[in-house]
Amino acid sequence: MASSTPALIFENIEKNFGPLKVLRGISGQVNVGEVVAVIGSSGCGKSTLLRCCNRLETVSSGRILVNGIDLSAPDTDINQLRADVGMVFQQFNLFPHMSVLANLTIAPRKVLGQAPAESEETARFYLDKVGLKEKATAYPEQLSGGQKQRVAIARALCMRPKIILFDEPTSALDPELVGEVLAVMKNLAEEGMTMMVVTHEIQFAREVAHRVLFLDRGTVAEEGPARQVITYPQSERLRTFLSRMSFVG
């Protein structure tokens, strides 16, 4: 059940790439235990907003707080931030020369200072959680796209993050592999993981997310409870967007 405590707050965020204004005064929050889906057309600023939330991108103006810590503060510990805020990318970003187990244990050992035995125990636990305990010794090239993404989710979980950011985690997958990744994400949501998910999977957003943010041209054009926003969109822009998406009504 989502708490009213904010895990992530963004206040009047703006992001420019030279003369291009990508984010235009976006504000919002993600509460502890809440799943917030961010939807919108390509180029609307969804992924940029997500990347700003763990400082893969720095904001041009505004403020982002993660568990009360200001990301723009000069004394912010970026390693601790990245430990608290997991990230799952579109393209998996696994190290191809490392086994699955090595991919999962390297960050806990180097960033958290875990002993090898502890990091391996944690890695095997989360591999089992995503249904891949038998793949510990495999290499990324031996996995399907869906398996790679589930390994990427397990890797994020190994850092025991307080929030996980998902950047279109199914967009690089063949359609028949999408379901296995969404099932893992749904289980995490049911267990109370705080999640911010950029996605084109509208059915998933409606069924799993607590709230939806609809971005359009770098602004939040509509937001609210997921089922309400997606089933009864108020703006013509959102109605048009949803009409172009294929999902079961």
| Mean pLDDT to the nearest integer, 187-202 | 95
> Given this model, what pLDDT does residue 204 score?
95
pLDDT digits (tens, 9 = 90+) for 52-85: 998 899 999 999 999 888 888 878 888 778 788 9
138-162 mean pLDDT? 96
Sequence-ordered list of residues with C-beta below 8 angstroms from that of 29, at least 6 positions apart, any chain: 6, 8, 9, 10
Query: Which of 27-41, 73-87, 140-154 has the weakest average pLDDT?
Result: 73-87
Strand, coil or helix: 149 = helix
Q: What is the pTM of this model?
A: 0.92
Q: Which long-range contacts (CB under 8 A, 24 or more apart) does 138-141 make?
A: 138/99, 138/100, 139/96, 139/97, 139/98, 139/99, 139/100, 140/92, 140/94, 140/95, 140/96, 140/100, 140/103, 141/96
pLDDT of residue 4: 64
Distances (CA, A) of 150 to 83, 114, 121, 127, 245: 19, 22, 18, 8, 25
> What per-residue confidence (pLDDT) applies to 1?
53
Q: Which amino acid is at 169?
A: P
Q: Which pLDDT score is estimated for 198?
A: 96
Tens-digit pLDDT profile for residues 210-246: 999 999 999 999 999 999 999 999 999 999 999 987 5
DSSP single-letter state for residue 142:
G
Residue 176 has pLDDT above 90, yes or no: no
Hey, which CATH number is domain 6-243, 3.40.1440.60, 3.40.50.2020, 3.40.50.300, 3.40.640.10? Answer: 3.40.50.300
The Cα 216–Cα 24 span in angstroms is 10
Of residues 66 and 248, the one with the higher pLDDT is 66
Write down the pLDDT at residue 96. 95
pLDDT value at position 2? 59
Tokens found for residue 52:
């700003």
pLDDT at 246: 58
Q: Are 90 and 167 in contact (CB under 8 A)?
A: yes
Q: How far is CA 36 from CA 31, 79, 164, 169, in A?
A: 9, 24, 11, 14
How do beta strands 6-17 and 61-66 pair? antiparallel
- Rounded mean pLDDT, 157-173: 94
Find the radius of gyration of the CA atoms of the chain: 18
Q: What are the residues facing 26 on neighbouring strands?
A: 13
Q: How far apart are CA 66 and CA 84, in angstroms?
A: 9
Mean pLDDT of 109-136: 95
pLDDT above 50: residue 25: yes
Domain ranges of the chain: 6-243
pLDDT band at 248 (very low <50, low <70, confident <90, very high): very low
- What pLDDT score was predicted for residue 134? 96
